[in-house]
Chains A and B, each alone.
Chain A
Amino acid sequence: MNILKFFTAGSVDDGKSTLIGRLLYDTDSILADQLEALQQSNRKNDDGTIDLAILTDGLRAEREQGITIDVAYKYFQTEKRKFIIADTPGHIQYTRNMVTGASTANLAIILVDARNGVVEQTIRHSYLVSLLGIKNIVVCLNKMDMVDYNEEVYLSIIEKYKVLAGKLNIKEVTYIPVSALKGDNIVHASKNMPWYQGESLLHYLEKVEVDGGAKSPYARMPVQWVIRPQTDELHDYRGYAGRILSGSFKVNDKVMVLPSGDHSVIERIEIFDKTPEEAHAGMSVTIHLKDNIDVSRGDMLVNANHVAQHSQLIEADICWMDKRPLDENITYLIQHNSKVTKCRINEIIFKVDINTLEKKEAYDFSLNEIGRVVVKTASVLPFDLYADNKANGSAILIDSRTNLTVAALMFRAVVE
């Protein structure tokens, strides 16, 4: 059994938390004591039924205001699959929290209120999904009960969304008409929409095949920690511990260490008490090399025939996440896998109006603004482009004055 991680994007009133609550409720994933707590809560729907949204609004401030401020993670499973849901805030003010939730997801559910159709926030959410390179997208047309379960409404919204998807280079979208409040097509097929022949949301989620984010077949492993017991019997033991980002490593594979460029050959792979011949993307392993070369935390082992890009000038999409705006005169820290080095924003290429998708000239970035920049790093980063390899094509910026994470970066091109 494997895990599907998905996130939900929708605005304050789209019924996003209700949709998640409905998924949990109808899959019998809410336990009796949690249900009891729900029933005792003062928040109720207009018709007196329990408000499923409270399940995910875990903070006092969220319950008070009836909004989602930060990501909540929810877990459930069916016989076919395990699911991790990132319930993310839809409001523009909390874009950074939405990006946090979306960054680890491999499927996005975008909620559209059937009464309103494609609106500004649909554009914003879809843009973020395409920016983060999430390939599996489900558009849930919610509140179908409020439009008399009308097929015409469904079809006309799909037509509008297709135009948007085209602009954003989103290839495949699945459309499902639902009512989270009433439970139509969430877990159980709706009796109210006989014209819809597709699957319910849950059935779709159980079956859909997702890519893990690393299209690149090339082996990459950032070294996180060097295991050196330095005991009498393990005097020469030196293992490079890390999690494989992409591709696979085999015993006797030729590898290169970046940024040094030193070559060696894999002598042994360990996963605790096992010594497999081969290890794949996603696994945390310990690798031994045949040669005694200098490798430490922050370095990366790569397949010697397909090395990563290595450059100090990188063009990247940036999502600014701090209240203090970007300052081109400040030296920031960039954290890329296990490596941290200084950097500066050398150039701002453009800023995107995330409600209209227009590119604009810009001189700074404020909280939740997105655009493209050129980053200059103090030392060479071994990276891939985000479109090829999410894990090795992404980084964060840290403001060393506050230690806060101030931006997300997605590498788009090497600057020659």
Chain B
Amino acid sequence: MVNLDYLDELEAEAIHILREVAGQFEKPALLFSGGKDSITLVRLAEKAFRPGKFPFPLVHIDTGHNFQETIDFRDQMVARIGEKLIVGYVQESIDAGKVVEQKGKNASRNSLQTVTLLDTIEKYGFDACIGGARRDEEKARAKERIFSVRDEFGQWDPKRQRPELWNIYNGRIHKGENVRVFPISNWTELDVWNYIKREKMELPSIYFAHERECITRNGQLMAASPFLNMDHEDIVETKTVRFRTVGDMSCTAAVASEATELDDIIEEISQSKISERGARMDDKVSEAAMEDRKKGGYF
């Protein structure tokens, strides 16, 4: 028995899961956010299926509040790998009156994207959606299966999870249901960064230290942008920052950082005393914020 190095083991497990998705589902999709975790998924999919094509398209739920760097990166990457990209626009859900823009200073489109996601799943008939969520991110995610069955409303029911035994994944569902699949469930934030380094992967520039106009709100550094509701109390300052996690501009906080290289970032995260999702305003609402959103159909 050869003991695999941890990155090899995590990689082999993720590839196995991706190939199970390909084998078990009719119309799977890979949810691509432009963040490092979904970029890692794309790399793993290349390892699982090349020289063949991916047996699924990439799907991006675009809130319209993204960092431009993320969108540019997405388009370049899709061109490089030659795979199909489907974009679901939150703006369309708003225009159709399906969701209403949040009001107030901390308004964000984060929770609105669930509706667009579910509509996109229904429109294309996706039966499995691969996502880059990790169990180390958050305590509700720590409880979720790798194959997580959602009902026809996209809802996660933590009390009715299927037993998931050994490396056998049961992806059988009824019509209308779908499965969220998380191939990097067992990876930590640091594992992802070490893998990015090992694989010499490209990332959107906002992950690296750069100068940016920011305001400080609730103790967090937020990028000044037209998507953020700002008033006279907000003081715009130029800071050297980077983003540790990439979501909407309106709900993703920056961290003050001088880390311009991967090694600096890995060093910074190893020393960090704050968790990755500590920079997500969307998780700060309550102790069960993530659990409640997942029950509603969130990623």
Chain A residues close to B by CB (< 8 Å): 1-3, 31-34, 37, 41, 55-61, 63, 69-75, 77, 82, 84, 96-97, 99-100, 103-104, 211-212, 214, 224-225, 227-229, 234, 237, 241-243, 248, 271-272, 280-284, 297, 321, 333, 335-338, 390-391, 394-396, 398, 400, 403-405, 408
Most buried by A among B1, B8, B288: B1
A243 touches B161 (CB 8 A): no
> Who on chain A is nearest to B47 by CB?
A272
B185 touches A297 (CB 8 A): no
A33 touches B51 (CB 8 A): no
How far in angstroms is the closest Cβ of chain B from A110?
20
How far in angstroms is the closest Cβ of chain B from A331?
14
> Who on chain B is nearest to A390 by CB?
B166
In this assembly, does B275 line the interface, its C-beta being within 8 Å of a C-beta of chain A? Answer: yes
B4 touches A282 (CB 8 A): yes
Chain B contacts of A394 at CB under 8 A? 165-166, 168
Chain A contacts of B162 at CB under 8 A? 404-405
A31 touches B158 (CB 8 A): no
In this assembly, does B81 line the interface, its C-beta being within 8 Å of a C-beta of chain A? Answer: no
Stretch at the interface among B116-124, B125-133, B137-145, B208-216: B137-145
B163 touches A99 (CB 8 A): yes
> Who on chain B is nearest to A97 by CB?
B163
B291 contacts which of A60, A74, A241 (Cβ < 8 Å)?
A60
CA distance in complex: A216, B50 (Å):
30
B4 contacts which of A104, A227, A283 (Cβ < 8 Å)?
A283
> Who on chain B is nearest to A273 by CB?
B50
B287 touches A37 (CB 8 A): yes
A33 touches B278 (CB 8 A): yes
> Who on chain B is nearest to A409 by CB?
B165
B15 touches A284 (CB 8 A): yes
A225 contacts which of B23, B140, B143 (Cβ < 8 Å)?
B23
Task: Answer whether A281 and B1 are a contact pair too, CB < 8 Å, given A99-B165, A100-B165, A225-B19.
Answer: yes
Chain B residues close to A by CB (< 8 Å): 1-6, 8-13, 15-16, 19-20, 22-23, 46-53, 55, 135-136, 138-143, 158-159, 161-168, 170, 172-174, 185-186, 188, 190, 272-275, 278, 287-288, 291
B161 touches A234 (CB 8 A): no
B46 touches A82 (CB 8 A): no
CA distance in complex: A111, B273 (Å):
30
A396 touches B19 (CB 8 A): no
B143 contacts which of A3, A71, A242 (Cβ < 8 Å)?
A71
B19 touches A70 (CB 8 A): no
> Who on chain A is nearest to B288 by CB?
A60
With A225-B19, A405-B164 given, name 14 new contacts (CB 8 A): A2-B5, A2-B6, A2-B9, A57-B139, A70-B161, A72-B142, A75-B135, A228-B52, A284-B16, A284-B19, A338-B20, A398-B170, A398-B172, A403-B172
Dominant secondary structure of chain A at its interface with chain B:
mixed
CA distance in complex: A202, B3 (Å):
20
Chain B contacts of A60 at CB under 8 A? 287-288, 291
Task: Answer whether A227 and B6 are a contact pair too, CB < 8 Å, given A58-B291, A73-B135, A396-B165.
Answer: no
Task: Answer whether A59 and B165 are a contact pair too, CB < 8 Å, given A2-B6, A272-B46, A284-B12.
Answer: no
> Who on chain A is nearest to B286 by CB?
A60
CA distance in complex: A398, B136 (Å):
29
CA distance in complex: A60, B273 (Å):
25
How far in angstroms is the closest Cβ of chain A from B267?
15
Task: Answer whether A282 and B9 are a contact pair too, CB < 8 Å, given A63-B287, A394-B168.
Answer: yes
A243 touches B16 (CB 8 A): yes
> Who on chain B is nearest to A245 by CB?
B167
A282 touches B287 (CB 8 A): no
B275 touches A33 (CB 8 A): yes
Task: Answer whether A84 and B48 are a contact pair too, CB < 8 Å, given A391-B166, A405-B163.
Answer: no
B275 touches A34 (CB 8 A): yes
The 3 tightest CB contacts between A and B, nearest first, are A58-B139, A284-B15, A33-B278
B163 contacts which of A96, A212, A283 (Cβ < 8 Å)?
A96
A211 touches B20 (CB 8 A): no
B159 touches A283 (CB 8 A): no
A283 touches B20 (CB 8 A): no
Most buried by A among B11, B49, B165, B273: B165
B142 touches A73 (CB 8 A): yes
> Who on chain B is nearest to A224 by CB?
B19
CA distance in complex: A236, B162 (Å):
40
A31 touches B173 (CB 8 A): no
CA distance in complex: A56, B165 (Å):
20
Chain B contacts of A55 at CB under 8 A? 139
Chain A contacts of B174 at CB under 8 A? 403
B170 touches A391 (CB 8 A): no
Chain B contacts of A84 at CB under 8 A? 186
Most buried by B among A58, A71, A408: A58
B165 touches A61 (CB 8 A): no
CA distance in complex: A70, B135 (Å):
14
Chain A contacts of B158 at CB under 8 A? 59, 61, 69-70
Task: Answer whether A391 and B167 are a contact pair too, CB < 8 Å, given A84-B186, A272-B50, A403-B173.
Answer: yes
Chain B contacts of A282 at CB under 8 A? 2, 4, 8-9, 12
> Who on chain B is nearest to A55 by CB?
B139
How far in angstroms is the closest Cβ of chain A from B285?
12
CA distance in complex: A282, B18 (Å):
15
Chain B contacts of A400 at CB under 8 A? 172
CA distance in complex: A337, B19 (Å):
12
Chain A contacts of B12 at CB under 8 A? 243, 282-284
> Who on chain B is nearest to A32 by CB?
B273
Chain A contacts of B143 at CB under 8 A? 58-59, 70-73
